[in-house]
């Protein structure tokens, strides 16, 4: 093994180590996001009841639960109180690591330099690292999406693209945006190069790809049908999945202007003493695009690949931007495109010549990009992991809600009868509070105060009903405000006899 080979192997191992560290280190420490808590509750119901039929009205695809359930069972976490967020987040973290390493499959096709750069950009991206540490669907969609993109561009035979697109469908209904984006990219690319193609070329393409296209269509239907139909036990599961596009209900308060994603990722802005930006990655991507348009820079296959990824990335951004409902994690798959495209900025380095200033500038830009990304990522997943000043911590959970479960158990230890149940939660929009109360057995949830509320030992009220609850419990309970989510509080009302018992102990509150 030569020195060059050893250096290349060491570089790939280094990228893998960075990706693994940024995604696995202290994985369960961040407060639980409300979307994670709701997903965990659905998974717990699936394991406790065995019911796994897809609900098309408000929930995403079954792939996340299907991958997480075996891991939970292996770790002995089969009920709602037993679940741990470290276990739940692990499949997403592993999918994030796999996404980083997928460019390795293209190293023989396009070279080590561009694929190493793409992998390093994927590994250190604050957006991708942050959501690889979260129990949501987008990282799985991003991983399956990159697999599908690579299969479309290099392995279209035997239905592989359809298999991975089917997994995208099983991850989340927004896969259809990727299908439209890639379809638009293919049509635009064909129209762009139509003058260089004659009738014989079109006929040859038809003969070469008609069977792979058929195989991919069948693979898509079978894969999605298996996942949505719970192994074909519910034959209409795929029909329910299609219904999603017509009856799915999005939450309120997430509407943003068209340019929101571009501002989030490309426009530098300062928050919490740190500059946040993905501009250098975009600059490298633009370099790849420019090189694909200049004569003599890239080979024909390199040009077509770069141009397809460019058009696909642009179509993804436009598609998601046209939808008023916007959250940062929806950018996972589009940003995967951009990082992969940025890697192609250094493809075929011989075409740049041996000009020292050009090489030096390229090394400087790449070094700065990786350094700045890594620094942002360390803050995003560390000190600012649940801070609204972090642009990726969307509606983060307040840290002081984490201690409420332990504190209530301490109150129960000094309470008459040793119990603080039943517990009442009043109002709507209380997630992720149920996650932090899951060790208690008797909990009721009401949109409005029930008639016997004053008898409840512990009551939680969200802001929309806090005034009504305060008026009803003013003589019987002591209010104790706590944070719930960014800009959303929750008030804990502890019955006065329990409060007095707690006050008479030496335990810290």
The sign of the torsion formed by the CA atoms of 85, 88, 94, 97 equals negative
Residue 223: the pLDDT is 87
Q: What is the mean pLDDT of residues 166-182?
A: 93
Q: What is the mean pLDDT of residues 234-243?
A: 72
Under a CB-based contact definition with an 8 Å cutoff, are residues 119 and 372 in contact? no
- Structure-block tokens of residue 70: 């075996």
Tens of pLDDT along 368-409? 999 999 999 999 999 999 999 999 999 999 988 999 999 999
Q: Is the whole-model pTM more than 0.85?
A: yes
C-alpha–C-alpha distance, residues 96 and 93, integer Å? 5
The pLDDT confidence band at residue 203, using thresholds 50, 70 and 90, is low
- DSSP assignment of 243-280 equals HHHHH--PPSS-B--TTHHHHHHHS-EEETTEEE--HH
Under a CB-based contact definition with an 8 Å cutoff, are residues 488 and 462 in contact? yes
431 or 486, greater pLDDT = 431
C-alpha–C-alpha distance, residues 349 and 373, integer Å? 24
Token match 């079954």: residue? 62
The sign of the torsion formed by the CA atoms of 386, 390, 396, 399 equals positive
Helix (H, G, I), strand (E, B) or coil at 450: coil
Whether cis (ω within 30° of 0) applies to the bond prior to 432 is yes
C-alpha–C-alpha distance, residues 324 and 258, integer Å? 7
Tens of pLDDT along 318-359? 999 999 999 999 999 999 999 999 999 998 776 666 666 777
- Structure-block tokens of residue 202: 């079109």
Under a CB-based contact definition with an 8 Å cutoff, are residues 342 and 288 in contact? yes
Residue 509: the pLDDT is 46
Residue 246: the pLDDT is 63
Token match 């993804």: residue? 316
C-alpha–C-alpha distance, residues 457 and 240, integer Å? 42
Residue 207: the pLDDT is 62
Q: What distances in angstroms separate CA 484 from CA 23, 271, 285, 434, one per listed residue? A: 25, 22, 40, 11
C-alpha–C-alpha distance, residues 255 and 82, integer Å? 36
Alpha-helix runs per DSSP H in 83-159: 85-101, 107-110, 112-124, 126-131, 138-154
Residue 160, Cβ density class (10 Å: 0-12 exposed, 13-18 middle, ≥19 buried): buried
Q: What is the mean pLDDT of residues 465-470?
A: 91
Token match 């009856």: residue? 247
Under a CB-based contact definition with an 8 Å cutoff, are residues 160 and 209 in contact? no
- Structure-block tokens of residue 442: 């008797």
């Amino acid at each position: 093994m030569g020195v060059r080979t050893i250096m290349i192997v060491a570089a790939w191992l280094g990228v893998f180590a960075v990706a693994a560290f940024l995604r696995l280190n202290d994985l369960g420490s961040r407060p639980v996001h409300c979307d994670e808590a709701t997903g965990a509750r659905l998974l717990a119901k699936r394991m406790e009841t065995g019911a796994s039929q897809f609900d098309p009205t408000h929930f995403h695809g079954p792939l996340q639960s299907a991958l997480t359930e075996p891991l939970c069972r292996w770790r002995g976490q089969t009920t709602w109180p037993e679940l741990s967020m470290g276990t739940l987040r692990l499949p997403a973290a592993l999918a994030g690591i796999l996404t980083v390493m997928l460019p390795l499959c293209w190293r023989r096709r396009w070279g080590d330099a561009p694929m190493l750069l793409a992998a390093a950009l994927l590994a250190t991206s604050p957006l991708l690292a942050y959501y690889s540490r979260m129990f949501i669907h987008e990282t799985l969609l991003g991983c399956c999406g990159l697999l599908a993109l690579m299969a479309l561009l290099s392995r279209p035979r035997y239905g592989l693209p359809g298999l991975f697109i089917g997994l995208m469908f099983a991850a989340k209904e927004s896969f259809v945006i990727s299908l439209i984006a890639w379809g638009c990219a293919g049509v635009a690319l064909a129209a762009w190069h139509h003058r260089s193609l004659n009738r014989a070329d079109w006929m040859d393409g038809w003969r070469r790809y008609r069977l792979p296209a058929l195989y991919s269509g069948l693979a898509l239907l079978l894969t999605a049908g298996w996942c949505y139909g719970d192994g074909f036990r519910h034959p209409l599961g795929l029909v329910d999945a299609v219904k999603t596009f017509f009856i799915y209900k999005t939450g309120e308060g997430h509407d943003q202007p068209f340019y929101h994603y571009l501002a989030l990722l490309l426009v530098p802005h300062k928050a919490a003493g740190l500059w946040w930006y993905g501009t250098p990655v975009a600059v490298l991507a633009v370099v790849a695009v420019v090189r694909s348009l200049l004569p003599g820079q890239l080979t024909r296959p390199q040009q077509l690949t770069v141009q397809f990824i460019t058009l696909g990335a642009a179509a993804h951004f436009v598609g998601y931007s046209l939808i008023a409902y916007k959250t940062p994690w929806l950018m996972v798959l589009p940003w995967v495109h951009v990082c992969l495209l940025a890697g192609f900025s250094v493809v075929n380095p011989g075409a740049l010549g041996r000009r020292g200033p050009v090489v030096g500038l390229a090394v400087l830009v790449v070094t700065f990009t990786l350094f700045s990304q890594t620094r942002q990522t360390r803050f995003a997943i560390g000190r600012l992991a649940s801070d609204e000043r972090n642009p990726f911590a969307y509606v983060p959970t307040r840290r002081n809600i984490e201690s409420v479960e332990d504190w209530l158990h301490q109150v129960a230890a000094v309470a008459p009868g040793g119990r603080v149940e039943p517990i009442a939660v009043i109002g709507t929009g209380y997630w992720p509070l149920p996650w932090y109360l899951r060790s208690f057995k008797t909990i009721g949830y009401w949109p409005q105060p029930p008639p016997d509320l004053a008898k409840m030992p512990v009551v939680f009220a969200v802001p929309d009903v806090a005034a009504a609850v305060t008026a009803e419990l003013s003589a019987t309970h002591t209010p104790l405000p706590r944070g719930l989510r960014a800009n959303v509080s929750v008030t804990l009302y502890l019955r006065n006899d329990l409060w007095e018992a707690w006050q008479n102990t030496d335990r810290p509150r």
